[in-house]
Amino acid sequence: MKKKNSIERYTADELKQKQAAGTLSDWNASAAMTADEIEAAIADDADEMAMTIDWGTVDTHLPEPKAVLNMRVDRDVLDFFKSTGRGYQTKINAILRAYKDAHTMPKNG
């Protein structure tokens, strides 16, 4: 499967045309705005409303690093997971986690 190239290429003439066309932004008007005006403009922007984040509720806990495990498994089991492609170790971990979660008694308290 060929990887899609996301790099856009332009000739020097095409870049000059793009530069000559200018931009739709009024950078002078933006530079003249106060911080309060900028905040008000952001608050009124419908596209921005969906991006509002309450940073007080953000979880900044980093996950524990993975433990290195060297274990023996049946060859056919390992071959099966390897045949599923990249990420087979992550799949094995997810299955082990699901088993652990299903067999762990909830703590009362």
Q: pLDDT grade, residue 87 (50/70/90)?
A: very high
Please tell me the distance from the alpha carbon of residue 25 to that of residue 31, in angstroms, as a whole number: 11
Residues 51-66: pLDDT tens digits?
777 778 888 888 889 8
Task: Indicate the domain borders of the chain.
Answer: 70-104
The pLDDT assigned to 13 comes to 92
